[in-house]
């Protein structure tokens, strides 16, 4: 009997224990994976990777602007991240006279480095498991009582950690509240732009190549952290000096070998590995396809506008990129999830889970119904969740009319208070300035067409769900004609006229007479009363079920590789430098070279435009000593489990030297946000040797290369 039981355990556990590559590990817990990592070739110890008492690789890893990752690469605070992560800073320093987007920028010395108000760079000081303290004495409590107790414990821990330091502490739930960790950070506020390649390198391939392998993008930009005389964070000041890091990454100039160990260290944003089969099915069958369709409609309009004139191309470039980034990722996700039959995989895992729960009454009580409960909850609330997603696509990502209405509503609801405080004129000034910026990148005919198509689609998608009455009673076409003829929100001249006559009755006027504002207002009310309450209930109930479900995985399958879903905290993931074979009859090699840049350029697609210098250097094969066997590597792929937020993360070799900067995933791998498949899922890295080549040979910025420590 006992023997049989053991066999069952092993068989079931193996359906859970994914391949080594899956997972995003908490650095302070990496000791548990040290053996596995060393077996894959790593020559570092867990303490080299993360240590609180001594400097470690952790100290070179930076959360950049809160959304991306960056790494320190010199003793003088030199920081590397992606080009797309520094893009808004690069853009804000660019003008027609100094077109850094088009030609790149390199500070010749430190005094030429450019300041970036608002940009932050944070270092993790320590990560502490505070579960026991946070959950102390909460056994048996529920609802508000439990919540208040937890919040009080968190507040005290945070206060204790911050008092007497210049650090900030934050406590986050992991594993849906089974664990709590405190993350103590040191945040630098003087982060200057040192250099960037031109868009034709940093954004090479544009949207055509986004989420795609083979890739040839030099997606990097260079910053520097400045600190005060005591090496501590400080707001920008001329007297600040380059920050001296506790650790910076040496750079590997060594030959790369397919199969070698790679590790990515950074701040991944969100993954959802524990969704139940019913939930994933809903997302795959209904939610994602509808969102994709909404974006297909707006992109069809935007793309046509952008093709019709240079002015519109420039106006809509960054909006288009934003909408298309998600759209393209989702299509890749659905393709991948269908190909591997993710639903069947989930069903098999759920069966194994339930079978295991049935082996012990105690487990059965705790875990026996949780999967059914999750699926039932999805069935009950999926229309609400769907209404939420559709509202995001329609009201936030859709026609810009709605964004203007939201802005106006915020402003006018403060009107009386602004008058009382004597701040009205200043606020009007601000509104005018922001409107000017908005209309500069807006085209009325384009927005009108987006409105018409998305309104039609939104109404269709919402089916029997309650709609704003204006949408129930009018065709999309009639509404478009009315709104874009009358509304002050959709036309710059009408808007300015309205602002010039602004008075205490303006809000009333908008609410009663402006069809654009009226529609937004109805839609917003509909959203707040018919969607939001259900979505809140749904999310909090689901969070509770996920907590139970995950606890069951821990308890019943102790030998599987468990990892907490990404939540924008610091993580490590490891794998190999390797290609993939994502489709029958098709093999992706693990690296690309500069030759591919020229081949793509020859296709004539403007996303592959180059400046003449690239063609000259490529023709001359002027690779310096950055090549390997006569080839200049540009990008390579690896089986490291990454997601949004990992952009800019260092990809490290077995000794902790920098191989390159992570910046994307192949299309076939974007499913890894839900399910990692070690045969398909590959992260894309720009090789640091190409980065150095661009600095040195292409840009004449060898002094930046000289600041780094090169390992040969």
Question: Among 256, 576, 591, 665, which residue sits at the site for ligand ASP (rule: CB under 6 A)?
Answer: 665
Find which of ligand ASP, ligand ARG, none residue 490 binds, CB within 5 to 8 Å per kind.
none
Min separation Cβ 344 and ligand ASP, Å? 26
Nearer to ligand ASP, 281 or 576 (CB): 576
| Of 213 and 411, CB closest to ligand ASP | 213
We find the least distance from the C-beta atom of residue 646 to ligand ARG, in angstroms, to be 9
Report the nearest approach of ligand ARG to the CB of residue 679 (Å). Answer: 21
Do 29 and 21 meet the contact criterion of CB atoms below 8 Å apart? no
Judged by CB under 6 A, the chain residues 175 through 214 that form the site for ligand ASP are none
Q: Which C-beta is closer to ligand ARG: that of 305 or that of 670?
A: 670
Assess 685 for contact with ligand ASP (CB under 6 A).
Answer: no
Q: Under DSSP, is residue 282 helix (H, G, I), strand (E, B) or coil?
A: helix
Among the listed residues 197, 205, 468, 644, the single contact to ligand ASP using CB under 6 A: 644
Residues 6+ positions from 456 with CB-CB distance below 8 Å: 476
Out of ligand ARG, ligand ASP, none, which partner does residue 321 contact, by CB within 5 to 8 A per kind?
ligand ARG
Q: Is 336 in the site for ligand ASP (CB under 6 A)?
A: no
- Total of chain residues touching ligand ASP, rule CB under 6 A: 9
Q: Which one of ligand ARG, ligand ASP, none is in contact with 240 (Cβ closer than 5 to 8 A by kind)?
A: none
The entry of ligand ARG, ligand ASP, none that residue 273 binds, CB within 5 to 8 Å by partner kind: none
Q: Is 647 considered catalytic here?
A: yes
**Residue (242 or 645) nearer to ligand ASP, CB:** 645
Is residue 642 a contact point for ligand ASP (CB under 6 A)?
Answer: yes
Least separation in angstroms between CB 566 and ligand ASP: 11
CB of residue 327 to ligand ARG, shortest distance in Å:
11
For residue 210, the partner it binds in ligand ASP, ligand ARG, none, with Cβ less than 5 to 8 A by kind, is: ligand ARG
Q: Map tokens 């809509």 to a residue.
A: 316
Closest distance of CB 549 from ligand ARG, Å: 29
- Distance between alpha carbon 455 and the CA centroid of its chain, in Å? 28
Is 664 among the residues known to form the active site?
A: no
Closest residue to ligand ASP: CB criterion: 647
- Judged by CB under 6 A, the residue of 276, 487, 491, 647 near ligand ASP is 647
DSSP label of 599? H
Q: Which two tokens stand for residue 1?
A: 């009997």
CB of 267: closest distance to ligand ASP in angstroms? 9
Helix axes 476-486, 515-530, angle to 10 degrees: 120
Report, in Å, the least distance between residue 607 CB and ligand ARG.
9
**Do residues 490 and 483 lie in contact, with contact meaning Cβ atoms separated by under 8 Å?**
yes
Nearer to ligand ARG, 399 or 648 (CB): 648
Rounding to the nearest 10 degrees, give the CA dihedral for residues 67, 71, 72, 78.
-70
DSSP for 444-506, written as a single string = HHHHHHHHHHHHHHHHHHHTTS---HHHHHS-HHHHHHHHHHH-TTS-HHHHHHHHHT--TTH
Site residues (vs ligand ARG, CB under 6 A): 84, 206-207, 210-211, 321, 325, 644, 647, 664
In this structure, what DSSP letter does residue 648 have? Answer: T
Query: What, of ligand ARG, ligand ASP, none, does residue 333 touch, CB below 5 to 8 Å by kind?
Result: none
10 Å CB burial of residue 586 (0-12, 13-18, 19+) is exposed
Q: Which of 200, 234, 639, 647 is catalytic?
A: 647
Backbone φ, ψ for residue 580 (5° rounding): -160, 170
Q: Which of these is catalytic: 48, 179, 219, 653?
A: 219
Tokens of 53: 């008492």
Sign of the CA dihedral 612, 698, 213, 91?
negative
Question: Does position 28 bind ligand ASP by CB under 6 A?
Answer: no
Residue 664 binds ligand ASP, judged by CB under 6 A = yes
129, with CB counted inside 10 A (0-12, 13-18, 19+), is middle
DSSP per-residue codes, 369-428:
THHHHHHHHHHHHHHHHHHHHHHIIIIISS-THHHHHHHHHHHHHTHHHHHHTT-HHHHH
Q: Identify which of residues 84 and 553 has a Cβ nearer to ligand ARG in the complex.
A: 84
Name the residue nearer to ligand ARG (CB basis): 325 or 474.
Answer: 325
For this structure, is 216 an active site residue? Answer: no
Tokens of 342: 């993710």
Q: Minimal distance in Å, beta carbon 532 to ligand ARG? A: 28
When the beta carbons of 54 and 270 are compared against ligand ASP, the nearer one is 270
Closest CA relative to residue 519, chosen from 557, 578, 471: 471
Tell me whether residue 333 or residue 548 sits nearer to ligand ASP (CB atom). 333
Q: Would you state the structure tokens that stand for residue 278, as one six-digit string?
A: 């019913």
Instruction: Give the burial class of 500: count Cβ atoms within 10 A of its Cβ; 0-12 exposed, 13-18 middle, 19 or more buried.
Output: exposed
Q: Under a CB-based contact definition with an 8 Å cutoff, are residues 435 and 495 in contact?
A: yes
The residues assigned a catalytic role are 84, 219, 647
Catalog residues that contact ligand ASP under the rule CB under 6 A.
642-647, 663-665
């Amino acid at each position: 009997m006992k023997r049989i039981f053991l066999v069952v355990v092993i068989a079931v556990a193996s359906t859970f224990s994914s391949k080594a590559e899956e997972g995003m590990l908490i650095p302070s817990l990496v000791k548990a994976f040290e053996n596995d990592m060393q077996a894959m070739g790593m020559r570092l110890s867990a303490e080299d990777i993360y240590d609180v008492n001594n400097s470690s690789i952790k100290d070179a890893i930076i959360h950049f602007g809160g959304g991306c990752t960056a790494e320190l690469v010199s003793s003088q605070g030199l920081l590397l991240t992606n080009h797309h992560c520094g893009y808004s800073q690069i853009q804000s320093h660019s003008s027609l006279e100094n077109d850094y987007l088009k030609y790149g920028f390199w500070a010749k010395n430190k005094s030429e480095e450019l300041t970036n108000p608002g940009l932050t760079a944070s270092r993790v000081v320590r990560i502490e498991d505070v579960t026991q303290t946070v959950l102390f004495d909460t056994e048996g409590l529920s609802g508000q009582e439990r919540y208040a107790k937890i919040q009080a414990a968190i507040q005290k821990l945070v206060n204790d950690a911050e008092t007497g330091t210049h650090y900030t502490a934050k406590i986050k739930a992991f594993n849906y509240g089974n664990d709590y960790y405190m993350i103590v950070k040191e945040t630098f506020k003087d982060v200057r732009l040192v250099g960037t390649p031109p868009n034709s390198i940093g954004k090479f391939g544009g949207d055509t190549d986004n989420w795609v392998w083979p890739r040839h993008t030099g997606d990097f930009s260079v910053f520097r952290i400045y600190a005060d005389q005591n090496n501590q964070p400080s707001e920008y000041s001329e007297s600040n000096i380059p920050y001296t890091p506790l650790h910076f990454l040496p750079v590997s100039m060594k030959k790369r070998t397919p199969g070698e160990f790679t590790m990515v260290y950074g701040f991944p944003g969100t993954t959802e590995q524990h969704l139940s089969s019913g939930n994933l099915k809903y997302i795959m069958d209904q939610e994602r396809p509808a969102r994709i369709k909404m974006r297909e409609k707006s992109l069809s309009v935007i793309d046509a506008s952008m093709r019709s004139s240079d002015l519109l191309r420039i106006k809509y470039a960054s909006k288009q990129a934003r909408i298309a980034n998600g759209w393209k990722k989702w299509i890749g996700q659905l393709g991948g999830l269908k190909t591997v039959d993710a639903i069947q995989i989930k069903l098999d895992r759920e069966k194994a889970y339930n079978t295991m729960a049935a082996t012990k009454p105690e487990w059965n009580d705790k875990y026996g119904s949780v999967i059914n409960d999750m699926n039932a909850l999805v069935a009950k609330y999926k229309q609400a969740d769907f209404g939420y997603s559709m509202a995001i696509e329609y009201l936030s990502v859709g026609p810009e009319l709605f964004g203007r209405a939201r802005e106006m509503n915020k402003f006018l609801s403060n009107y009386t208070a602004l008058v009382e405080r004597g701040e009205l004129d200043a606020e009007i000034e601000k509104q005018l300035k922001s409107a000017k910026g908005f209309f500069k990148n807006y085209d009325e005919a384009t927005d009108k067409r987006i409105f018409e198509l998305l309104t039609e689609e939104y109404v269709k998608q919402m089916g029997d769900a309650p709609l704003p009455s204006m949408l129930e009673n009018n065709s999309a076409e009639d509404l478009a004609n009315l709104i874009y003829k009358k509304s002050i929100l959709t036309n710059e001249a009408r808007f300015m006229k309205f602002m010039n006559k602004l008075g205490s009755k303006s809000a009333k006027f908008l609410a009663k007479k402006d069809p654009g504002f009226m529609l937004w207002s109805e839609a917003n009310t509909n959203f707040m009363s018919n969607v939001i309450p259900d979505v809140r209930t749904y999310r909090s109930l689901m969070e509770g079920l996920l907590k139970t479900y995950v606890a069951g995985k821990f308890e019943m399958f102790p030998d599987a590789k468990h990892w907490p879903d990404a939540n924008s905290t610091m993580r490590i993931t490891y794998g190999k430098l390797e290609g993939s074979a994502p489709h029958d009859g098709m093999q992706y090699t693990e690296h690309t070279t500069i030759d591919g840049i020229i081949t793509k350029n020859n296709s004539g697609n403007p996303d592959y435009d180059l400046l003449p210098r690239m063609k000259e250097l490529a023709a001359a094969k002027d690779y310096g000593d950055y090549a390997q066997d006569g080839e200049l590597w540009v990008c390579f792929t690896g089986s490291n489990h990454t997601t949004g937020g990992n952009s800019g993360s260092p990809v490290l070799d077995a000794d902790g030297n920098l191989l390159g900067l992570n910046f994307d995933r192949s299309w076939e791998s974007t499913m890894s946000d839900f399910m990692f498949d070690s045969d398909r899922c590959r992260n894309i890295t720009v090789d640091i040797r190409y980065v150095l080549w661009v600095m040195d040979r292409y840009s004449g910025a060898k002094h930046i290369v000289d600041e780094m420590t090169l390992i040969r």
